Structure 1
Amino acid sequence: MQTEINKVELRNLRIEDYKELKNSMIESYPEMVGSYWKESHIEKLLQLFPEGQLVILVDDIVVGSALSLIVNEDLVDKKHDYAKITGNYSFSTHDPKGDVLYGIDVFIAPKYRGLRLGRRMYDARKEICEQLNLKSIVFAGRIPNYGKYADELTPKEYIEKVKRKELHDSVLSFQLSNDFHVMRIMKNYLEGDKQSKEFAVLLEWNNIYYDESPRIINLEKSVIRLGLIQWQMRPLKDLEALFEQSEFFIDAVSGYGSDFALFPELFIAPLMADYNHLSEADAIRELARYSEPIRKRFQELAISYNINIITGSMPHIIDGTLYNVGFLCKRDGTYEMYTKIHITPNEVFHWGMSGGNEIKTFDTDCGKIGIMICYDVEFPELSRLMSDEGMNILFVPFLTDTQNGYTRVKHCAQARAIENECYVAVAGCVGNLPKVNNMDIQYAQTAVFTPSDFAFPSNGIKAETTPNTEMTLIVDVDLNLLKELHEHGSVRILKDRRTDLYQIKKLR
């Protein structure tokens, strides 16, 4: 990606977006000159079905859109073309009492393709379909690569080859990867579509939550999926090798629909091997030069894979002072920094690190979270202050060299989950680094801990990895269980505190 992205926003289309929408559409369909929606069309769509019209913005500029109608299922079953399904572009086919969400357009400007922004809009369409209790999403997708094979393949043969991944079609391949299935081939669907030879593929996504009886669907997301990475320390040739390995794990956990990816503390340490001839204090400061490039790349990955990434931690220099920091790279393109507050004697003695001065929580699209780096979890005051601010999930990237160190982290993390009635996710590094001083051995067992009550596992462990083996841990946590615990638990630790006798407060 050539340009650094600061923010990505998905929202409903507004009429004042029209100029940017038009420009983006012209860029997206260069082969179809003059094929863009007029302002009167957009006004009509917003009048009929405003919640079905979506745009995606990058740094406040519209770069893509997904437009749709609600139609009756029998209209979809009949033979139709683009003009007929849109009521000859009057949208008279829209029926608020219909049962199918029909997609009439979706596009992303070429400059912003490859960031999975289209997938994000399709996920939003699926949410609309579920919220409105519609049977399915249907649309006729172009097959723009078919023109190259029309002399040797029938449309059916072409579609089968795309399904088997023997051929790639920019539109059809994308739709199939988004859980749409082929209903039938449409001939003479879109007049003037030379790339597709005017063929289209009618595709459908079924809403498994559809209920013929009307019901209210809870729009608030309560089940959050966590993707934790137990990282193997290994020699790395350069920064790109680190990015390649990191993206592999992000791709893996996002492929399972994870909302968060958590990396361990100081997982970038293999890059310090190039500076092993220096003193330990000088070597860690050289490693700090990578913190900004890493932050920028992880921001891009958070957008591309539609996942919130907690980057573990890394050395970072601010005004000449060395800190242990990490970044929360959100899937909307923004980021925030967190800093290790309590520094271990080892970090002070060998590296000359200093502790941070800010205790804070973070607002995300999955609720309020807290992040503490390793040693910080052994100080209960921090998490209690975060809990007072509404934290539901505490993330703890850690690095421990011995089983003794891990035992401290594990049992303190479990205590934080119980006393604050929250989930605690910990992720660490495993393996050896023979060419990096002060980072030679690691011991870890990544896990998600829970409160201890009837709605949770009896041992307070939701899931954990095999110790000292590189792997991922995918875990669902239900925030509604925490709400139930706060009000009706066997014990109610947060409610039963004697604040008339004692209090904890921030001094700054």
Structure 2
Amino acid sequence: MPKAIQSVELRNLLIEDYKELIKSMIESYPEMAESFWKEHQLQNLLEKFPEGQLVIVVDGVVVGSALSILVTEDFAFKTRNYKAITGNYTFSTHNPDGEVIYGIDVFINPKYRGLRLGRRLYDARKELCDQLNLKSIIFAGRIPNYVNYKDEITPKIYIEKVKRKEIYDPVLSFQLSNDFHEVRVLKNYLEGDIESQEYAVLLEWNNVYYDDSPKLINTQKSVVRLGLIQWQMRSLSNLEALFEQAEFFIDTVSGYGCDFALFPELFTAPLMADFNHLSEAEAIKELAKHTEAVKLKFQEFAISYNINIITGSMPLIENGHVYNVGFLCKRDGTNEMYRKIHITPNEIFYWGITGGDTIQTFDTDCGKIGIVICYDVEFPELSRLMADEGMNILFVPFLTDTQNGYTRVKHCAQARAIENECYVAITGCVGNLPKVNNMDIQYAQAAVFTPSDFAFPSNGIKAEATPNTEMTLIVDVDINLLKELHQNGSVRTMRDRRKDLYQLKKLK
């Protein structure tokens, strides 16, 4: 992976992308030098079906693409070669009334493979299929590794072995893992494809939400899936061990389709064991030396697993001061920092931590969110100011050693959900950490809280984890329910404030 990626964007192809697109295509298909798309062909494709042409852009450079047309299901199943399906590369076969997307090209520049960008393109195609209320996605996939087995087995046996994972094929294995199923083997599909011996596998993905009766499709994401990580404090030999454990959880919640992964406050504390011979204040400063590496690794995870990651918190040294900070690592490759504003007496006494001075919300691909760290949730002014800016979900990474400390966080978080008409997600660390001073015991119970009205659980609790046990909590929250609540709730705390008597505003 190229070092220090700053941004990843998935968007529709523009004709201005042509030169960069071809550069990446040449690196992806060096053996097919005569088959690259010409500029006039892509212009023609964009005129016929602009929304079906997708690109992945990394730091301003086009590194991958997915191109497609619309056809009827009958045409897709009966047409046996690439030239015919594309109308001799003119795309005259595109049918605006077709009920299936036919994929005509997908590639990722080899330099950027391993970040699951191909999966992101496939997911975007599936989302487009759903938004346009289409029946399925169909395409013919190459089998480039077949050249190594052509003298031993038939294409049919080769495909069966790939399905059973006895053979790995870089194209077919990937497509099968993305829920496509094979329909038939096609012979003489792509002229000049020596690696596949001109064979291809006709594959299909069915849209289970397809509705025969046409209707308007709401393309705006309403349901957001949260993945809360209730982190077990344990001895860790080094930073790589922490990354391995963190990646396990990110992989897990990403596998369930989560939009966000939330880690607890100071979950990196086990790394202070190496500095236990120092004072608490010096140990936290040593821990702060890992913060930049943690941020960069979590940025990579966010891209690779296509998930927004809220990194809990960790110490950061700036201008001689120690701050308690975290990062929102977005799946587009960007990141933003947040700081703990209210510092507990314990943090000041043992670690000398300084409070931050910025109150902010964050724009994400799932709407506007807020993040406060632990003690901050006990101060209602912060989240109210965030709610005034349109926050829908408040995330609260916390660290509490005793049950009464947790009770403060829990009940204040519930209050924030009710008074600000938003969802509040909390998670903390559990277990014991005997070899780190001032971090001996932990108590936590991850949860998602809701407003209290008829559309929500009567107790205002959407879900809770098992207390003091390492686990994940995966929860769906519906943003449209908040919109309805704001306008038609039994009570409307955001609208009914007496601003003629009192007001709340930022000083900075």
Q: TM-score, normalised by structure 1?
A: 0.99
Q: Could you tell me how far 1:391 is from its partner in structure 2?
A: 0.3
Q: CA separation in 1, counterparts of 2:471 and 2:166?
A: 31
Match of 1:21 in 2: 21
Match of 1:419 in 2: 419
Query: Which stretch of structure 1 is more off in the superposition, 153-162 or 138-147?
Result: 153-162
Match of 2:300 in 1: 300
Q: CA separation in 2, counterparts of 1:125 and 1:321?
A: 47
Give the letter aligned to residue 53 of structure 2.
Answer: Q
Q: Could you tell me how far 1:208 is from its partner in structure 2?
A: 1.5
* 3-state SS of paired residue (2:139): strand
Give the letter aligned to residue 304 of structure 1.
Answer: S
Match of 2:162 in 1: 162
Give the letter aligned to residue 259 of structure 2.
Answer: D
Query: Which stretch of structure 1 is more off in the superposition, 377-386 or 206-215?
Result: 206-215
Q: CA separation in 1, counterparts of 2:229 and 2:130?
A: 31
Match of 2:37 in 1: 37
Give the letter aligned to residue 339 of structure 2.
Answer: T
Give the letter aligned to residue 400 of structure 1.
Answer: T
Q: CA separation in 2, counterparts of 1:93 and 1:444?
A: 59
Q: Could you tell me how far 1:414 is from its partner in structure 2?
A: 0.3
Match of 1:501 in 2: 501
Match of 2:488 in 1: 488
* 1:227-275 deviation digits (Å, cap 9, x = unpaired): 0000000000100000000000000000000000000000000000000
Query: Which stretch of structure 1 is more off in the superposition, 304-313 or 201-210?
Result: 201-210
Match of 2:51 in 1: 51
Q: CA separation in 2, counterparts of 1:320 and 1:132?
A: 55
Q: CA separation in 2, counterparts of 1:114 and 1:305?
A: 10
Q: CA separation in 1, counterparts of 2:385 and 2:13?
A: 39
Give the letter aligned to residue 493 of structure 1.
Answer: T
Q: Could you tell me how far 1:127 is from its partner in structure 2?
A: 1.6
* 1:22-43 deviation digits (Å, cap 9, x = unpaired): 1010000012222210111111
Q: Could you tell me how far 1:148 is from its partner in structure 2?
A: 1.0
Match of 1:477 in 2: 477
Are the equivalent residues in 2 in contact too, given 1:395–1:425 (CA < 8 A)? yes
* 1:99-147 deviation digits (Å, cap 9, x = unpaired): 1110000000000011011111111111211222211100000011111
* 1:339-386 deviation digits (Å, cap 9, x = unpaired): 000000000000000000000000000000000000000000000000
* 1:374-432 deviation digits (Å, cap 9, x = unpaired): 00000000000000000000000000000010000000000000000100000100011
Q: Does 1:132 align with 2:137?
A: no
Q: CA separation in 2, counterparts of 1:345 and 1:70?
A: 63
Query: Which stretch of structure 1 is more off in the superposition, 58-67 or 120-129?
Result: 120-129
Q: CA separation in 1, counterparts of 2:322 and 2:234?
A: 24
Are the equivalent residues in 1 in contact too, given 2:312–2:326 (CA < 8 A)? yes
Q: CA separation in 2, counterparts of 1:130 and 1:448?
A: 28
Match of 1:288 in 2: 288
Q: Does 1:252 align with 2:252?
A: yes
Are the equivalent residues in 2 in contact too, given 1:363–1:369 (CA < 8 A)? yes
Structure 2 unaligned regions, length at least 5 = none
Match of 2:195 in 1: 195
Are the equivalent residues in 2 in contact too, given 1:26–1:35 (CA < 8 A)? no
* 3-state SS of paired residue (2:31): coil
Q: CA separation in 2, counterparts of 1:128 and 1:406?
A: 43
* 1:40-96 deviation digits (Å, cap 9, x = unpaired): 111110111111111110001000010000112211121410000001111110111
Q: Could you tell me how far 1:315 is from its partner in structure 2?
A: 0.3
Match of 2:363 in 1: 363
Give the letter aligned to residue 122 of structure 1.
Answer: Y
Number of residues of Structure 1 aligned to a counterpart in Structure 2: 508
Q: CA separation in 2, counterparts of 1:375 and 1:464?
A: 20
Q: CA separation in 2, counterparts of 1:281 and 1:439?
A: 13
* 3-state SS of paired residue (1:425): strand
* 3-state SS of paired residue (1:31): helix
Query: Which stretch of structure 1 is more off in the superposition, 130-139 or 354-363?
Result: 130-139
Q: TM-score, normalised by structure 2?
A: 0.99
Give the letter aligned to residue 138 of structure 2.
Answer: V
Give the letter aligned to residue 329 of structure 2.
Answer: C
Query: Which stretch of structure 1 is more off in the superposition, 182-191 or 321-330?
Result: 182-191
Give the letter aligned to residue 239 of structure 1.
Answer: L
Give the letter aligned to residue 123 of structure 2.
Answer: D
Q: For 1:427-438, what aligned pairs fall within 5 Å after superposition?
A: 427-438=427-438
Q: CA separation in 2, counterparts of 1:132 and 1:425?
A: 33
Q: Does 1:224 align with 2:224?
A: yes
Are the equivalent residues in 1 in contact too, given 2:453–2:489 (CA < 8 A)? yes
Q: CA separation in 2, counterparts of 1:455 and 1:445?
A: 24
Match of 1:444 in 2: 444
Q: For 1:74-473, what aligned pairs fall within 5 Å after superposition?
A: 74-473=74-473
Are the equivalent residues in 1 in contact too, given 2:340–2:376 (CA < 8 A)? yes
Give structure 1 regions of 4+ aligned residues with deviation exceeding 4 angstroms: none
Are the equivalent residues in 2 in contact too, given 1:265–1:313 (CA < 8 A)? yes
* 3-state SS of paired residue (1:179): coil
Q: Could you tell me how far 1:204 is from its partner in structure 2?
A: 0.5
Q: Could you tell me how far 1:156 is from its partner in structure 2?
A: 1.5
Q: CA separation in 2, counterparts of 1:397 and 1:253?
A: 17
* 3-state SS of paired residue (2:503): coil
Give the letter aligned to residue 255 of structure 1.
Answer: G
Match of 1:10 in 2: 10
Query: Which stretch of structure 1 is more off in the superposition, 86-95 or 339-348?
Result: 86-95
Structure 1 unaligned regions, length at least 5 = none
Are the equivalent residues in 2 in contact too, given 1:267–1:314 (CA < 8 A)? yes
* 3-state SS of paired residue (1:210): coil
Q: CA separation in 2, counterparts of 1:2 and 1:129?
A: 32
